[in-house]
Amino acid sequence: MSVLTITKENYQKEVTESDRPVLLDFWASWCGPCRMVSPVVDEIAEQNANVKVGKVNVDEQQELAAQFGVMSIPTLVVIRGGKIANRVVGARPKAQILSML
């Protein structure tokens, strides 16, 4: 499954109402560690049909970043049933991201 671009406009439908766990990657184009994590997140999206994966650009979606209290990026958040189930800040290896799910 491809990675979704999450905005405040589609957040409710794609994340809150999702019937699958959602992995959100909060990132910015100028962030080096974000660029390291991005291909790993893309791989997880392609290889795990049972998980919905979305990316939130913190520069463009400041309201969502504030809603999640994102102070450092990359921040990875797992949401199940509309509630935060797991959260880490900083670049992580694929195995550790998968273990969050």
Catalytic annotation on 34? yes
Catalytic annotation on 31? yes
Query: What region does 81 belong to: left with phi over 0, alpha with psi -120 to 50, or beta?
Result: left
- Find out whether 63 and 8 touch, Cβ atoms under 8 Å: yes
| Of 15, 23, 31, 64, catalytic | 31
| Of 22, 24, 34, 65, catalytic | 34
**What is the DSSP secondary structure assignment for residue 12, as one 8-state letter?**
I
- Find out whether 14 and 54 touch, Cβ atoms under 8 Å: yes
| Distance, CA of 23 to CA of 79 (rounded, Å) | 7
The catalytic site residues sit at: 31, 34
